[in-house]
Amino acid sequence: PPALLQIGALHHEPQALLDARYDVRHWPGDAAARPAWLAANGAGIEGLVTTGGLGVPPGLVEALPDLRIVAINGVGFDRVDLAAMRARDIRVSNTPDVLTDDVADLAIALMLNCFRRLPAAERHVRDGVWPRGEVPLARRASGLRYGIVGLGRIGQAIARRLSGFGGSIAYSSPTRRPHLGHAYHETLVSLAQASDVLFVAAAASAATAHMIDREVIEALGPNGVLVNIARGSVVDEAALEEALRDGRLGGAGLDVFAEEPVVPEGLRELPNVALAPHVGSATHETRAAMGALVVENLDSFFGGRELLTPVV
């Protein structure tokens, strides 16, 4: 069977298929030991199994002279240098669609946590404080002006959910989608000004890095809420933290961060943020479907068939 280097985990069901069908190798857990391991074991490895968050780490492609395919267990490919892959004729696959609903669900959950403060409400019950008094009032999440940055698969799934919240929906996106009937904004500042909640669902790239900057954050304003389920790199995290601390932004719901798994202490201490550890796609059902798609892409490639979900 073809030899694969696996640097990111798969759900246990597809993992069993991968292990049965391929010669799956794992590099040392200690990063310092990896260069020597790659020098000794890199030749002959034809496939790489990675995650959206890890992508293809710097220097790895050079250490894998026989690499022919990179299968990402995730939809995002911002950590893969596609030009370098094309130059070496290395194919790349990802896992779109199967995770769309889960990620959109989490976006709504983070919004609700920001407005209804469910973690605080739950602590009130668990800590036995309820008999001593009521929790402070929260804020209404329905009927607001919702803005979506990036109306692709996930952005549209967020919009479908929001259509039940009785407010208005506007968006900004590289591709206009007039048939969906949402108001289009040319600039992010204009969209943010017209939004109470701004959802970030844009694909990360050099072009979208820090796209949500101080100006956009301030346009959202002291009562506005930013929800990011895309990538930390899309938002200027330092500007976000400052605005949340100074009250220039009302709140934020964050599943993704600039330097995962490190979340700045300043953000972790703020009361007006809802935080999650990059769990947008982290359900049994979706992770099993993502892993199955990873294995199917590899099977297709090594079987001489078309990739199911090609990036390159």
The catalytic site residues sit at 231, 260, 278
For ligand 8YV, give the closer residue by CB, 122 or 285.
285
Q: Which of 45, 63, 64, 73 forms a contact with ligand 8YV (CB under 6 A)?
A: 73
Strand 251-254 to 225-228 pairing: parallel
**Termini Cα distance of the chain:** 23
52 interacts with ligand 8YV by CB under 6 A? yes
Comparison of 220 and 290: residue with beta carbon closer to ligand 8YV: 290
Copy the structure tokens of residue 216.
């956009």
- CB of residue 260 to ligand 8YV, shortest distance in Å: 9
Residue 294 binding ligand 8YV, by CB under 6 A? no
Q: HSE (CB half, 13 Å, CA atoms) of 305?
A: 9
* Sequence-distant (≥ 6) Cβ neighbours of residue 76 within 8 angstroms: 52, 53, 94, 203, 204, 230, 231
Options 14, 42, 47, 74; binder of ligand 8YV; rule CB under 6 A: 74
Angle in degrees, CA 44, 48, 51, rounded to 5? 165
Q: Rounded to the nearest 5°, which phi and psi values hold at 191?
A: -65, -45
Only segment of 69-77, 105-113, 147-155, 233-241 that touches ligand 8YV (CB under 6 A): 69-77
Report the candidate in 107, 204, 200, 110 with the shortest Cα–Cα distance to residue 160. Answer: 107
Q: Of 75 and 85, which has the nearer Cβ to ligand 8YV?
A: 75
Whether the upstream peptide bond of residue 261 has omega within 30° of 0, thus cis, is yes
Cβ proximity to ligand 8YV: between 52 and 224 the closer is 52
- Candidates 72-80, 121-129, 160-168, 181-189: pick the segment binding ligand 8YV (CB under 6 A): 72-80
Residue 243 · residue 251 · CB < 8 Å: no
Q: Which is nearer to ligand 8YV, 106 or 252 (CB)?
A: 106
| Spatial distance between the Cα atoms of 232 and 158, rounded to a whole number of angstroms | 18
Q: Name residues contacting ligand 8YV, limited to 135-194 (CB under 6 A).
A: none
- Shortest Å, Cβ 60 to ligand 8YV: 16
Asked if residue 252 binds ligand 8YV (CB under 6 A), the reply is: no
Q: Which is nearer to ligand 8YV, 153 or 248 (CB)?
A: 153
Cβ(157)–Cβ(180) below 8 Å: no
CB 69 within 8 A of CB 47: yes
Q: Indicate which single residue of 75, 141, 170, 293 sits in contact with ligand 8YV (rule: CB under 6 A).
A: 75
Question: Locate tokens 């034809």: which residue?
Answer: 46
Instruction: Give yes or no for a contact between 48 and 57, defined as CB atoms under 8 angstroms apart.
Output: no
Q: Rule CB under 6 A: is residue 250 a binding residue for ligand 8YV?
A: no
Residues 253-282 close enough to bind ligand 8YV by CB under 6 A: 278, 281
Q: Rounded CA gap, 112 and 101, in Å?
A: 17
Decide: is 76 part of the binding site for ligand 8YV (CB under 6 A).
Answer: yes
Separation of alpha carbons 290 and 59, rounded Å: 26
Binding residue (CB under 6 A) for ligand 8YV from 14, 42, 47, 53: 53
Task: Considering only the stretches 18-26, 49-57, 80-88, 208-216, report the one whose residues sit in contact with ligand 8YV under the rule CB under 6 A.
Answer: 49-57
Binding site for ligand 8YV (CB under 6 A): 8, 51-53, 73-76, 99, 278, 281
